C-alpha cells in the first residue's frame, strides 16, 4: 500500500516526482540545517488517486492525522486548541514550478474561539484578527469558490471608513468587524457558516489544492510550458510562522542573483508586518533587501548566509521565500529560480568561471528558446525617446503594441493579429491568458517578485512592474501619467531592460547577439560601449556556450535555403550545408511565364523550347548556391508542388475570360487566357496536395526533372572546373514506392554520366529520397536499396500520418484539440513521437539495415524545434535542417542533446 504522507525530515531534493518541487526542497533545507518550520507533504500519488477517483484515498485521512499529531508534539500546540492553537498553511507544490497557478491557504485552524487564544499567545489582538480575516478571505475564494472581489471590496470599504491607505492602517476593532463582514459574505454565497472545525478546514483546503491542479489557468499554463497533465501536485502542510506580528516581523522573496540580468548580489522584495501572499500579489509596493538590512541587520545577515548556503548547495540561482517572526528568520521555500534568457546565459557562464559547474552543465542550463529570445530586436537608443514613466525592469525585451486593460481583450485583439500590451494595476493568475497573448505586460504595482514579474520572466515576455506614476483606470479602460491620458488601443512601448515606458511606436535595432552571429565575437564586442559590461558579458557567454555546444554535438546542422543570399547568411550563422533547397521558389516572378509555356505546350518542340529556356536559369541558380556553400553539402529537392500553383486562380481566370467574351474582345492575349483557362481546368484537383506533385510530376511530365538534374550536374561540373569543391545532392520528393525511385534514379545516373563525359570529369552527385509519406517510411528497407540518403520531410509526413490538411486544421480546431487534451502542442510544431516519430525511427533502422552508410536527416520545420532535435539525436539521424534564423538554436540544442545522453565533454 502506498504511503501518501512524508514529514519534511524524511525527504530530499531528488524526490520531486513524489514530493513535488516545493516539498522536496523544504525537505532538503531541513536536511542541511536551515531554519524551516516543521511540516509534512502529501504526495503527488495522492493527487493522482484523487483525480482518478474523484475522492481522497481513504487511508490518507489516517496518515494526515498521524502527521498532524507529530507536528503538534513538535510545536507544543494543537490544531483547534482554543488556548494554544496550532495554525498551518496548506500550499500546492508540483514537480515543475507553476507560480501563482494553484492554490494556497494560510492560517488554517483559526476559528471564533482560537482567535482569542492566538491573540493571547502573541500578545497582539490586532495580529490575531488580521490572521483570521486572511483565512476567511483565502479560504472563501480558494476552497468555497466565492468571488475574491467581494472580500476585496469589503476590505476597501473598511479602509475608506478608517481613512487608511493600506490594511496595516486598520485597528484590531476594524479587523474584528471585517471578520464579521467576511463571514456574512460566506453565509450569503454558500448558504452555510464559515467552518469552525479546524480539521474540516484542513481537509477541505487539501482537497481544494488538489482540485486546483485542473483549473483552466493551471491547464493553460501547463500547455504553454509543455508540462504533462498527468503529474498532479503535492500538498505541503506547514506550521505557520507569522510575518504580520508587527514592525519587527515581515515576509519576503529573494534571489541569490538578479533573475533579470544575472548580476551577482542581493535581490528581492520585503514587506514588514505582512504575510507571504502580500508580496507576490503585488497589492503593496515592497521594500528592498537593503531596507531590510537597515531595519533588522541580524535577520538580514542570517538570510544572506542562508542565500549563500543554498546557492552553493544547488549550484544555481535560487529563488527563496522567507518570513521573519519577531526577529527570527524562517525559510519557507526555495527552488531553482526562473530567469530571463540573458540572465540564463550570464549565470551559466559565471558559475563556470566560479568553478561551480562544468561547461556541460552550463550547456544544460540554457535552452534554444532562450537563445532565440536573445536574437529579437531591441529599442534603438539613437532615437533618444523621452520616457513617459519608469517602473521596475522585470523581464527584458522591447515591446510595442496597443494598450489593453483586461485579459479577454488582450486575447481577442491578439487573435485578430494585433500586438497588444496588457496594462493592469497588478496581475493575478486569472490574467494568464492575456499575458500569453500580449507582447508585453505593464503593471503600476508590485515588485520583481510579483505575479506579473515571475510569470512574464518564465514565459520570456517583456515586462515592467511597479510603475507608480501610471494610474490605471480599468473601468474606464485607460491610464494616466500626470496630464497624459492613454486610452485603450493607443500605441505604447515598454523596455523590459530599463523599465521605461514610452508613448507611441519606438524604432528597434538588431540585438547584439545577432551582430555577434553575423560578424563574430571580436567585431560584436568592438561595437559595444566599453562601459556596457552587462551586454559584453552576455555576448561572451553566448559565444562560449555555443562554441561548446558545437564541440559536444553529434548532429550536424544545415539550412533550408533557396537562394545564394540565404546560403551566405546561413553559413555565417554556422550552417554546415544546405539540407533543403526548394527549387519551386526559383520559378516565381518573371520565370512564371516559362512554366506556363511548359504547361501549355501541345507539341514536343514547344515543350523542349520551354525547357531549354529554363536550363541556363536553373544552372545559374545552382552554381550560385554551390559557390556560396563550397565544400559543404547542398541537397536540392526537385520540383515538388502541383504545377497549377504556378498558374492563375481558376475563379479569377474564369471571370476574366467570361468578361472578355461578353465584351467581344479578341486578340493574342484573349487567346492565351482561353488556352490557359483550359489548362487550369484540366489540371484542377480536388485535393492537390495528394495529387500530381513531387515525383509524380517527374514521371508524368516529360523532361521536367531531366531539366533540373541536368542543371544541377552542369553547375557541379562548372564549379569543379573552376577549382571549387561542390557537393550537390539530388533529392526526389514524395516518393512512395521503390519503382518511382528507380525511374528517376536511372534517369539521374544517365544525365550525371553524360554531363561528366562532356566535361571530362567524374561527377559524384548522390541521389536520395525525401521521406514524407507513411508508405515510404514503412518500406524504407526497399527504398534504401535505391536512395543513397533519406531526408525526412516531417511537415508532409505529419499531414499524411494524422490525415490533417495543415492549412485548414490549425485555425479550424487545433485550439479545441489542445483545450481537450488531444495533444499538448501542435504536431506541426513539435514532433509527434508516438506516431510520426515512430515512423521516423522505423525508417531509420530499416533503411540502415539495408544500407549501413545511409545518411539520415530531417528538413521539415521540426528541424529547428528544440524538443524535436533531442528526438532526432536519440533516433540517430546525422543532421537537422532548418531556417537560417533557427540555426543557432539548432546548434545549441544539438549540443544539449549530446550532453544529456552522455556524449559531451565534461571539461
Residues catalogued as catalytic: 451, 859
Q: At what angle do helices 533-552 and 887-900 cross, to 10 degrees?
A: 60
Entry field: residues in the chain = 907
Q: Three-class SS of residue 703?
A: coil
Give 194's DSSP letter: P
> Within 10 Å of residue 397's Cβ, how many Cβ atoms?
26
Residue 581 grid coordinates: 533547397
- Could you give the 3-state DSSP secondary structure of residue 221? helix
Rg (CA), the chain: 33
Torsion of CA 164, 168, 172, 173, to 10 degrees: 20
Q: Which residues pair with 732 in a beta bridge?
A: 769
Nearest Cα residue to 434 out of 690, 220, 613: 220
Instruction: Give the residue from 767, 752, 759 showing the smallest Cα distance to 718.
Output: 759
Which grid cell sits at 60?
490518507
DSSP codes, 63-112: HHHHHHHHHHHHHT-BTT-SSSB--EEEEEEESS--TTTS-EEEEET--T
Residue of 257, 329, 334 lying closest to 297 (CA atoms): 329
State the cell numbers at 115. Answer: 482567535
Q: Which of 705, 282, 677, 587 shows the shortest CA–CA distance to 455?
A: 282
Q: Is 326 left (phi over 0), alpha (psi -120 to 50) or beta?
A: left
DSSP, collapsed to helix, strand or coil, labels residue 19 as helix
Please name the residue that has the C-alpha cell 520565370: 591
Torsion of CA 433, 438, 440, 446, to 10 degrees: -30
The 3-state DSSP class for residue 605 equals helix
Ordered DSSP codes for 431-454: GHHHHHH-SEEEESS--TTSHHHH
CA distances for 521 relative to 206, 358, 540, 542, 567, angstroms: 54, 22, 7, 10, 21
Pseudo-torsion of CA 848, 851, 853, 854, nearest 10°?
-70
Specify the residue for cell string 490575531.
128
The H or E element spanning position 157 is: helix 148-162
Question: What would the grid cell of residue 504 be?
Answer: 507611441
Dist CA 107 CA 135 (whole Å) = 5
Helices 125-142 & 114-122 angle (0-180, nearest 10): 140
Whole-angstrom Cα distance, residue 203 to residue 205? Answer: 5
Q: How far is CA 744 from CA 105, 279, 495, in A?
A: 69, 68, 56
**What is the DSSP code (8-state) at residue 386?**
P
Short-list 794, 702, 813, CA closest to 747? 702
594-to-84, 588, 647, 683 alpha-carbon distances in Å: 92, 10, 11, 17
Amino acid at each position: 500500500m502506498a504511503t501518501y504522507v512524508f514529514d519534511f525530515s524524511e525527504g530530499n531534493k531528488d524526490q520531486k516526482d513524489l514530493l513535488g518541487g516545493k516539498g522536496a526542497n523544504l525537505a532538503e533545507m531541513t536536511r542541511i540545517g536551515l531554519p524551516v518550520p516543521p511540516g509534512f507533504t502529501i504526495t503527488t500519488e495522492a493527487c493522482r488517486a484523487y483525480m482518478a477517483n474523484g475522492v481522497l484515498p481513504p487511508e490518507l485521512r489516517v496518515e494526515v492525522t498521524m502527521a498532524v499529531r507529530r507536528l503538534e508534539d513538535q510545536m507544543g500546540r494543537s490544531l483547534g486548541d482554543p488556548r494554544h492553537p496550532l495554525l498551518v498553511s496548506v500550499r500546492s507544490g508540483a514537480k515543475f514550478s507553476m507560480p501563482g497557478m494553484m492554490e494556497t491557504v494560510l492560517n488554517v485552524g483559526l476559528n471564533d474561539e482560537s482567535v482569542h487564544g492566538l491573540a493571547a499567545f502573541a500578545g497582539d489582538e490586532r495580529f490575531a484578527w488580521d490572521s483570521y480575516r486572511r483565512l476567511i478571505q483565502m479560504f472563501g475564494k480558494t476552497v468555497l469558490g466565492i468571488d475574491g472581489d467581494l472580500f476585496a471590496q469589503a476590505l476597501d470599504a473598511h479602509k475608506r471608513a478608517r481613512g487608511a491607505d493600506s490594511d496595516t492602517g486598520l485597528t484590531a476593532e476594524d479587523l474584528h468587524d471585517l471578520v464579521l463582514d467576511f463571514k456574512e459574505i460566506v453565509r450569503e454565497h454558500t448558504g452555510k457558516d464559515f467552518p469552525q472545525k479546524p480539521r474540516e478546514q484542513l481537509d477541505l483546503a487539501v482537497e481544494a489544492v488538489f482540485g486546483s491542479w485542473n483549473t483552466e489557468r493551471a491547464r493553460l499554463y501547463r500547455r504553454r510550458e509543455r508540462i504533462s497533465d498527468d503529474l498532479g501536485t503535492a500538498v505541503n502542510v506547514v506550521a505557520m510562522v507569522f510575518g504580520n506580528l508587527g514592525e519587527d516581523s515581515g515576509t519576503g522573496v529573494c534571489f541569490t542573483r538578479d533573475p533579470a540580468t544575472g548580476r551577482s548580489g542581493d535581490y528581492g522584495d520585503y514587506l514588514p508586518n505582512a504575510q507571504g501572499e502580500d508580496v507576490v500579489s503585488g497589492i503593496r509596493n515592497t521594500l528592498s533587501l537593503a531596507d531590510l538590512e537597515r531595519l533588522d541587520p541580524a535577520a538580514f545577515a542570517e538570510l544572506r548566509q542562508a542565500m549563500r548556503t543554498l546557492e552553493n548547495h544547488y549550484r544555481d540561482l535560487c529563488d527563496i521565500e522567507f518570513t521573519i517572526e519577531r526577529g527570527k528568520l524562517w525559510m519557507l521555500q526555495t527552488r531553482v529560480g526562473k530567469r530571463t534568457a540573458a540572465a540564463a546565459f550570464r549565470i551559466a557562464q559565471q558559475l563556470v568561471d566560479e568553478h561551480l559547474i562544468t561547461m556541460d552543465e552550463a550547456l544544460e542550463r540554457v535552452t534554444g528558446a532562450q537563445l532565440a529570445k536573445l536574437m529579437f530586436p531591441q529599442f534603438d537608443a539613437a532615437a533618444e525617446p523621452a520616457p513617459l514613466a519608469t517602473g521596475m525592469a522585470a523581464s527584458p525585451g522591447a515591446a510595442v503594441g496597443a494598450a489593453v486593460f483586461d485579459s479577454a481583450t488582450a486575447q481577442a485583439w491578439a487573435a485578430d493579429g494585433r500586438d497588444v500590451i496588457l496594462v493592469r494595476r497588478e496581475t493575478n493568475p486569472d490574467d494568464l491568458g492575456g499575458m500569453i497573448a500580449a507582447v508585453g505586460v505593464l503593471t503600476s504595482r508590485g515588485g520583481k517578485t510579483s505575479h506579473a514579474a515571475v510569470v512574464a520572466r518564465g514565459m520570456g515576455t517583456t515586462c515592467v512592474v511597479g510603475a507608480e506614476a501610471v494610474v490605471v483606470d480599468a473601468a474606464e479602460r485607460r491610464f494616466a501619467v500626470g496630464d497624459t491620458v492613454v486610452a485603450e488601443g493607443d500605441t505604447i512601448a515598454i523596455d523590459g531592460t530599463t523599465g521605461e515606458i514610452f508613448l507611441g511606436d519606438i524604432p528597434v535595432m538588431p540585438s547584439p547577439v545577432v551582430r555577434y552571429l553575423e560578424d563574430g565575437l571580436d567585431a560584436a564586442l568592438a561595437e559595444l560601449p566599453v562601459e556596457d559590461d552587462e551586454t559584453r558579458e552576455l555576448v561572451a557567454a553566448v559565444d562560449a556556450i555555443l562554441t561548446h555546444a558545437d564541440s559536444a554535438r553529434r548532429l550536424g546542422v544545415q539550412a533550408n535555403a533557396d537562394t545564394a543570399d540565404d546560403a551566405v547568411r546561413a553559413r555565417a550563422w554556422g550552417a554546415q550545408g544546405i539540407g533543403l533547397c526548394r527549387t519551386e521558389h526559383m520559378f516565381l516572378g518573371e520565370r512564371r511565364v516559362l512554366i506556363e509555356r511548359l504547361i501549355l505546350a501541345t507539341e514536343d518542340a514547344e515543350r523542349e523550347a520551354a525547357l531549354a529556356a529554363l536550363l541556363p536559369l536553373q544552372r545559374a541558380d545552382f552554381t550560385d548556391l554551390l559557390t556560396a556553400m563550397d565544400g559543404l553539402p547542398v541537397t536540392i529537392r526537385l520540383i515538388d508542388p502541383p504545377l497549377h500553383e504556378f498558374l492563375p486562380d481558376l475563379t479569377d481566370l474564369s471571370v476574366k475570360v467570361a468578361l472578355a467574351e461578353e465584351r467581344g474582345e479578341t486578340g493574342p492575349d484573349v487567346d492565351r487566357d482561353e488556352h490557359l483557362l483550359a489548362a487550369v481546368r484540366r489540371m484542377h484537383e480536388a485535393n492537390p496536395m495528394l495529387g500530381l506533385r513531387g515525383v509524380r510530376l517527374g514521371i508524368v511530365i516529360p523532361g521536367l526533372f531531366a531539366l533540373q538534374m541536368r542543371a544541377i550536374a552542369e553547375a557541379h561540373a562548372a564549379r569543379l572546373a573552376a577549382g571549387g569543391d561542390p557537393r550537390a545532392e539530388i533529392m526526389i520528393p514524395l516518393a512512395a514506392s521503390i519503382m518511382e525511385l528507380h525511374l528517376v534514379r536511372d534517369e539521374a545516373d544517365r544525365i550525371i554520366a553524360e554531363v561528366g563525359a562532356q566535361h571530362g570529369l567524374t561527377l559524384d552527385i548522390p541521389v536520395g529520397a525525401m521521406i514524407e509519406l507513411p508508405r515510404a517510411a514503412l518500406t524504407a528497407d526497399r527504398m534504401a536499396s535505391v536512395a543513397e540518403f533519406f531526408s525526412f520531410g516531417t511537415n508532409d509526413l505529419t499531414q499524411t500520418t494524422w490525415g490533417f490538411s495543415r492549412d485548414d486544421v490549425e485555425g479550424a480546431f487545433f485550439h479545441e484539440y489542445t483545450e481537450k487534451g488531444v495533444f499538448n502542442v501542435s504536431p506541426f510544431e513539435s514532433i509527434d513521437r508516438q506516431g510520426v516519430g515512430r515512423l521516423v525511427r522505423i525508417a531509420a533502422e530499416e533503411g540502415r539495415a539495408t544500407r549501413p552508410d545511409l545518411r539520415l536527416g530531417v528538413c521539415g520545420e521540426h528541424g529547428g524545434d528544440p524538443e524535436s532535435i533531442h528526438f532526432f539525436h536519440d533516433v540517430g539521424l546525422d543532421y537537422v535542417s532548418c531556417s537560417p534564423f533557427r540555426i543557432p538554436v539548432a546548434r545549441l540544442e544539438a549540443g544539449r542533446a549530446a550532453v544529456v545522453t552522455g556524449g559531451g565533454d565534461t571539461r
